[in-house]
Structure 1
């Protein structure tokens, strides 16, 4: 009987020893565990009218997330990695709001993207109900950052900044060439973007000696630009300034080429095609020499050139949406790293105080004032020999302007 109790006690002792050893090892095991992933909501319109741009934005976000994770994740949170939770905005504001609701329900730390101004307006407003940090990638309307939403940050330049820069750049380029252009025809889509831009151009450019011969509106989508081209031919302007989306600009430029309408330059602003390599490669003659004041990567940054090479090696097209969304993800990672938290208030405060410089855009250090990055500015690009080059300002340029053209 005694022998039996002794045997049982010995076994219990051995079990207790093993349990004690496991308990002693537990802190080490806990430390070795992988921290939970940080869910990042990526909202892009990958179906509908803006699907091409939404696809570019998604690619940029994917590459940015891969970069953050390859660098070791968020060190302040134990190396936590980013996990993308993708939502299709379906190119309309109502769908974007529905997707924001879903992203919030899935516990994302922030949302990046939107592309189109109406989508960004609706999505950021919906996100504000949950105090959910929202980084706008492209949406240019100034209403986005004029509503006092503390959760909303636009990393890229907006409408007012771009238009002001475009006017200044046009004057400088025209002056440097001996002021060859004096007359202008504006061609614009009849929505919020095109009409607003044309109105501002028609107001500001005459103050600097330019004469606006006409402002021609067209619908989106437009099926034919023959009458627009004939009107431009009859007016014989020195400059044509189109403010349209991709399909309409391509149609306009091809029609001008077919009808042999010439000018001293085509100077666009935030154009859907002029800074798009798809247009350049599919219709090289129609695209050649078109200028644009728009978003673009910094061609003097090795990281930007390496990313473009990586994208093109994968058989994908390159566009500014990729560079912006890639940079937005790095900006967000920097904010979460400094916040040491994914709590909404902490991330918003970190974004608001950002001085981030690790982007691949032709910007200075990030500085948000009322949600707008005042360190951001557009550049002047021009299609030259089948590629898009930065021609102004000089500190970011990789080519000289080919201007004026032989009219």
Structure 2
């Protein structure tokens, strides 16, 4: 059975203590421990993503602890310190003090670029590493902060790969897509994506006929849907968070907007099984370029089984948070210490190649993992299929949307 785990049941579902939001939640382990922070929005408009991410971190810690913990530290068990960023940048920043006082060696988070920008700046004064699970805005890695390690791809790489794959799809279909409308959240990642697309789409012979930004949260997409309809765009390229994406998709259907394709870049719902489950007709053939694991790896299969047993949606939030804890654990193994400066050095030198993601060996250059890569997914029936790159594909892409 699938259901949403709320913040109180977040970790209870897999047999751990429930999260207490008044103070950091420390997931107790037996014997010697090493503390790793998890800073995620467990409340507010990003709560779904945040609770998913926190659960992913716990699955990883459980797996590592069951395998003997950090062996170079005499089998020290990873003890997660979970703190709620409340979907607010100022809270994300102040929460770093809580993590530092709790004695974490590093932390992962924080679902949204705005939150991560605030938390990583605050963490710099403690020499406290933040390994970003999700943080696509490029200014995250452009500030010269030595404590920033973005494991997953940023908006530039995601947009570049999305454009390459869109070109292949459109050429394969006889260049049926000639005009595009862009709808994006007005934060750092959505605005940067829209800017790149506006410059690059015309080079593929696709004219951008409408660009619409919106805040997060945003509750009414009726006017946006009408503007997309009036533009007569062949393709819609959206980039926003799950709640807004869902409302947008429903509004498009209500306004009977006819499109040849919906091609998302970092679409908050487009690679989310919750969206598929609750919006079957709206979701069909939606494509996305986003974070996703390699489903063929044994750790990936084990994670999928653990999420299913916990009644948890297997989303990219779960996947990338799991992977960032893997990276932190590997750095602990190599440093053999819970010293924060040694952790910074170990992460900077990371060549970890055993994560669940479809990446090459980790290589942080100015805090950015240059060997990260996004994939393309497409919603087909009740499933999310991988369609690019071909070595991971579970289905061939369907483009454009079939005529009814």
Is 1:382 aligned with 2:378?
Answer: yes
1:397 corresponds to: 393
Distance 1:146 1:35 in 2: 40
Cα deviation, residue 365, structure 1 = 1.4
Cα deviation, residue 293, structure 1 = 0.6
Distance 1:304 1:179 in 2: 36
Cα deviation, residue 78, structure 1 = 0.7
Is 1:161 aligned with 2:137?
Answer: no
1:107 corresponds to: 103
Cα deviation, residue 214, structure 1 = 1.1
CA contact (8 A) 2:178 2:205 kept: yes
Give the TM-score of the pair, scaled to structure 1. Answer: 0.89
What is the CA deviation profile of residues 223-275 of structure 1, one whole-angstrom value per residue up to 9, with x for unaligned ones?
Answer: 33223223323332221111222222212211222333221110010111111
1:94 corresponds to: 90
Distance 2:314 2:214 in 1: 28
Distance 1:348 1:218 in 2: 37
Distance 2:116 2:277 in 1: 30
Bigger drift between 216-225 and 271-280 goes to 216-225
Kindly tell me: are residues 99 and 231 of structure 1, through their superposed partners in 2, closer, same or farther at Cα, counting changes over 3 Å? closer
What is the CA deviation profile of residues 23-54 of structure 1, one whole-angstrom value per residue up to 9, with x for unaligned ones?
Answer: xxxxxxxxxxx862101111111011111110
What is the CA deviation profile of residues 336-395 of structure 1, one whole-angstrom value per residue up to 9, with x for unaligned ones?
Answer: 111111212211111111111111112111111111111101111111111111110111
1:173 corresponds to: 169
> Where does 1:341-356 land on structure 2 (aligned, <5 Å)?
341-356=337-352
2:329 corresponds to: 333
More helix by share: 1
Give the counterpart of 1:222 among 218, 221, 242.
218
Give the counterpart of 1:84 among 80, 83, 89.
80
1:121 corresponds to: 117
CA contact (8 A) 2:181 2:235 kept: yes
> Where does 1:38-53 land on structure 2 (aligned, <5 Å)?
38-53=34-49
SS at match of 1:299: coil
Cα deviation, residue 402, structure 1 = 1.0
Report which of the two structures shows the higher radius of gyration computed on alpha carbons: 1
Distance 1:169 1:109 in 2: 39
SS at match of 2:43: coil
Give the counterpart of 1:362 among 358, 364, 368.
358
Bigger drift between 392-401 and 220-229 goes to 220-229
Deviation >3 Å, runs of 4+: none
Distance 2:378 2:324 in 1: 25
Give the counterpart of 1:231 among 227, 231, 237.
227
Distance 2:214 2:334 in 1: 47
Unaligned runs of 5+ in 1: 1-33
CA RMSD of aligned residues (A): 1.5
1:200 corresponds to: 196
Is 1:145 aligned with 2:141?
Answer: yes
Paired residues, number: 374
Distance 2:373 2:361 in 1: 11
> Where does 1:309-324 land on structure 2 (aligned, <5 Å)?
309-324=305-320
CA contact (8 A) 1:35 1:78 kept: no
Give the counterpart of 1:291 among 263, 287, 296.
287
Distance 1:370 1:100 in 2: 22
Bigger drift between 191-200 and 109-118 goes to 191-200
Distance 1:223 1:298 in 2: 34
1:256 corresponds to: 252
Unaligned runs of 5+ in 2: 1-29
Distance 2:173 2:143 in 1: 41
CA contact (8 A) 1:154 1:371 kept: yes
SS at match of 1:186: strand
Distance 2:300 2:319 in 1: 7
Distance 1:156 1:191 in 2: 18
Is 1:58 aligned with 2:65?
Answer: no
